[in-house]
Amino acid sequence: MKRQESILGRLMRSLALVSATGLFLLLVFIWVEYQISILHFADLDQLRRSAYELLEHIGLPMVLLAIPTVLAGRWAIRRGVQPLAEAAARINAASGEARGVRVDASTLPVETVPFADAVNRLLDRVDRAAAAHEAFAADVAHELRTPLTLLSLELDGLDDPRAEAMRADVAAMRRLIDQLMLLAQIDAEAAAHLPPDDVDLVEVAGDVVARMAPAALADGKVLELRGERAGIIRGRRESVAAALRNLVENALRVTDAKVPVVILADRPSELAVRDGGPGLSVVRLHAMTQRLSRADHASANGAGLGLAIVSRIMAAHGGWLTADEEKRELRLIFAKS
């Protein structure tokens, strides 16, 4: 693989070549200027004194001048390419954004503006393609909701042993559709750069517990809320609640009856869900946050998008999702407001 070459290295070599060429031409000029006088020196001592004088008054100053010239040239080159490094830093800082990232060409050198404009045009095309795919997925999901609802009502009226399994399949399909629509909504909100609101994490956790506790109790499961230190963050309340619901739903699926699923609001700007499952390692969690992946212990009804949605929500909030395998805990860590 060919080694990549930096702009600074190229310019420094070019500067060194120009300086060396100028020094050589200057020495040639001096030699031509003085050679007639030097050749007329019959005395060897006079010749030595002349050579020493040339070295002292011409050679040494040129060497001493070359050092600050090289340093000044390096500084000037670094200063010239600094806008490129700053533009790269701004793009890296916006890496959590799904769309809308652009290169600000207003501060770049004139020579690099065509390249920046080309990159921005490419990003425009990528954004339009991503928006079209998201709109298509949302439209498909929306159109499938009605026939699935009608199918579910028809199955409720059937008195057949197979109807229960069919109802479970329909419920799994509706859950997948809801997740697809939620994912499209999250991406749309991120692309629109909507201003964030104040979100009380303890209030969100309490609301999620209140909404999910009746169904959990019907299945013999227990939900608990502990801690009141999570505080307030800047974000989107519905998205935060959706992330927490996904974690709770996963926890309920892998936890046996009578073993509590605990929602923790025990740290500032953090929420966690602790279950009775086998636990999830950080490495495995990273694999599970990829879309259409599902944990080994997930049920057959899992849609394979839950943790990917949670990870996407956290990225949109400047935070992340992490796991503690020993504590059997998944934790949402938000950016501190």
pLDDT given for residue 224 in this prediction: 93
- The residues pairing with 264 across neighbouring beta strands, listed in sequence order, are 226, 272
> Would you say residue 198 has pLDDT above 90?
yes
Pick the CATH number of 101-193 from 3.20.20.70, 3.50.50.60, 1.10.287.130, 3.40.1190.10: 1.10.287.130
pLDDT tens, position by position, 151-174: 888 888 887 788 888 888 888 787
- Give the predicted TM-score (pTM) of the model: 0.57
Q: What are phi and psi of 327, to 5 degrees?
A: -85, -5
CATH homologous superfamily for the domain 195-337: Histidine kinase-like ATPase, C-terminal domain (3.30.565.10)
Element (H, E) at 308: helix 306-316
Task: Of 250, 247, 249, 266, give the one whose Cα is nearest residue 201.
Answer: 266
Instruction: Return the exposure string of 296-325: e unless at least 16 CB atoms fall within 10 Å of the residue's CB, then b.
Output: eebeeebbbbbbbbbbbbbbbbbbebbbbe
Q: What is the pLDDT of residues 105-123, one digit of tens each?
A: 777 777 778 888 888 888 8
Does residue 222 surpass a pLDDT of 50? yes
